Structure 1
């Protein structure tokens, strides 16, 4: 069995990797920083290190995503579990070289492209799974599908982050709708408010909130529990497509369950990524 995970070199991604690697034959660490990936691999038990392989992936560069997929396909016959774990919140509006707002690119578009390009390899698995790390922040989303890159409206770090966390859930439900009949299971999850360096790029009121909330936050080990649970366990088919909290199906927002919103998101994502898809 083969696992691919984004954002495996820090926070809950690193814990998820450490806990899951004994259960897989091969694990692809999809990350930007080769040095951090090397240190992460070296920190694994010696008998597990040979299973881990770094593949460069920058979710803010769609060319990088396409290249990463080709590498994975060259080095494996299938992917049994894909965990789209990487994410970030960014204080200042940044536009990538591809012309996308960075939060949108790094949290949604990059994973959308990665997942879709890898889909033939994922569907080769006997029990394929895709796990998307979302957040309760999705409840604060305020999406304008006419301005996904904040070209008209002023940029808000927190609203942009809330929107992409909603997109993670909408994307999951679309994957379930499109591929469940071919055996795919797709899940999204809220890891909890985790004490990591996650919000180091944030600023303004969100950074103040993060500092004040730190004493009440959970550890990265606790934050990784739901991802690990979903990857390791047989989940009933009745829960396929669901949003999870604390390893149990949970209620997502009304917007997260909107069929029209997930159809708009898929349509717009395909349109924006047409060059790479």
Structure 2
């Protein structure tokens, strides 16, 4: 257990609010669901494995059985490595949810072996960035309609010391490197957060704020590929176990960005330990952020005429 970990101290309630959380059946996603549930929120868990998600719901409800003023939890299927699944999930949510006040883009894969999604994207890029990019764009009109609303993207300190490669974002020309691919996907999360904040401001959309964050080093299922491929990682995890967070500790900055009053008017920034932090120089590159946005739009097949910032009359 990490000996030094910030905690979100906000007691804000989420009664009558709806949150969508991706990858929510385990790790920090599951802890985020439980926190929102205790605040009275209607939480939609968007997960690839529906049966595991339902099991997680039962575990959360059992843990909270003696509490009052709880919310509700629903499960919906979402496979971020499939654009068809992303579109189907978004369509279902737009039919079932009149408001979406919180979107927590939490799901991800970490340093997996080289592989491709069903749409031909490098797996880490496709899952960590492109799937969430499309999901957010499809839900954005509803989110804007629900303002005040927040969009929280779980990134990582691993984004440091790398620049986004817009010339070969999909790893089709250069030799694949699993660590560099992961780092680039996490950098993409921050650049997307910043550019989305800029475009919301440009379009005059008020009350919708965006956040990117580093949750900390956490012992979760994300480590499974590292442990099997890099023995040194296993050794380091044992040596520095006192710096590794529990999932509950790791969820605190996500929760902070989603509910805390102190950051309600902030947008497009990067956080760690429940406070604003300066990201890498590459994460502040406005030209790269715009280029990534345009390239991502094309890669996921969004129509050039589609306007995600359209806000119907409330």
Q: TM-score, normalised by structure 1?
A: 0.94
Q: 1:237 to 1:10 in 2, by over 3 A?
A: closer
Q: Report deviation, 1:208.
A: 2.4
Q: 1:270 to 1:234 in 2, by over 3 A?
A: same
5+ residue gaps, structure 2, are 1-16, 307-314
Q: Contact between 2:163 and 2:282, CA under 8 Å: does it hold in 1? A: no
Q: Contact between 1:158 and 1:206, CA under 8 Å: does it hold in 2? A: no
Q: Which has the higher helix share?
A: 1
Q: Report deviation, 1:201.
A: 2.1
2:232 paired residue number: 208
1:172 paired residue number: 193
Alignment RMSD (CA, Å): 2.0
Tell me, yes or no, if structure 1 residue 240 matches structure 2 residue 267.
Answer: yes
Q: Secondary structure at the match of 1:269?
A: helix
Q: Report deviation, 1:205.
A: 6.9
| Stretch deviating more after TM superposition (62-71 or 213-222) | 213-222
Tell me, yes or no, if structure 1 residue 199 matches structure 2 residue 223.
Answer: yes
| Stretch deviating more after TM superposition (203-212 or 50-59) | 203-212
Tell me, yes or no, if structure 1 residue 70 matches structure 2 residue 91.
Answer: yes
Any idea what the Cα deviations from partners look like across 1:212-267, whole Å, max 9, x if unmatched? 13413111111100111111222446632110010100010000000001011001
| Stretch deviating more after TM superposition (197-206 or 62-71) | 197-206
Structure 1 distance, partners of 2:136, 2:88, is 13
Q: 1:236 to 1:221 in 2, by over 3 A?
A: closer
| Stretch deviating more after TM superposition (196-205 or 51-60) | 196-205
Q: 1:206 to 1:174 in 2, by over 3 A?
A: farther
Q: 1:49 to 1:94 in 2, by over 3 A?
A: farther
5+ residue gaps, structure 1, are none
Q: Contact between 1:3 and 1:26, CA under 8 Å: does it hold in 2? A: yes
Tell me, yes or no, if structure 1 residue 31 matches structure 2 residue 81.
Answer: no
Paired residues for 1:16-55 under 5 Å: 16-45=32-61, 46=65, 51-55=72-76
Any idea what the Cα deviations from partners look like across 1:133-169, whole Å, max 9, x if unmatched? 0000000324321211211111111100000110110
Q: Contact between 2:39 and 2:69, CA under 8 Å: does it hold in 1? A: no
Structure 2 distance, partners of 1:76, 1:224, is 25
Paired residues for 1:95-106 under 5 Å: 95-106=116-127
Q: 1:207 to 1:55 in 2, by over 3 A?
A: farther
| Stretch deviating more after TM superposition (260-269 or 227-236) | 227-236
2:208 paired residue number: 184
Larger Rg belongs to? 2
Q: 1:24 to 1:110 in 2, by over 3 A?
A: farther
Q: 1:128 to 1:135 in 2, by over 3 A?
A: same
Q: Contact between 2:227 and 2:234, CA under 8 Å: does it hold in 1? A: no
Q: Secondary structure at the match of 1:40?
A: helix
Structure 2 distance, partners of 1:75, 1:174, is 28
Tell me, yes or no, if structure 1 residue 153 matches structure 2 residue 174.
Answer: yes
Higher relative contact order (CA 8 A, sep 6+): 2
Q: Secondary structure at the match of 1:54?
A: strand
Q: Report deviation, 1:88.
A: 1.1
Structure 2 distance, partners of 1:219, 1:204, is 21
Structure 1 distance, partners of 2:48, 2:290, is 30
Q: Contact between 2:112 and 2:124, CA under 8 Å: does it hold in 1? A: no
Q: 1:48 to 1:61 in 2, by over 3 A?
A: farther
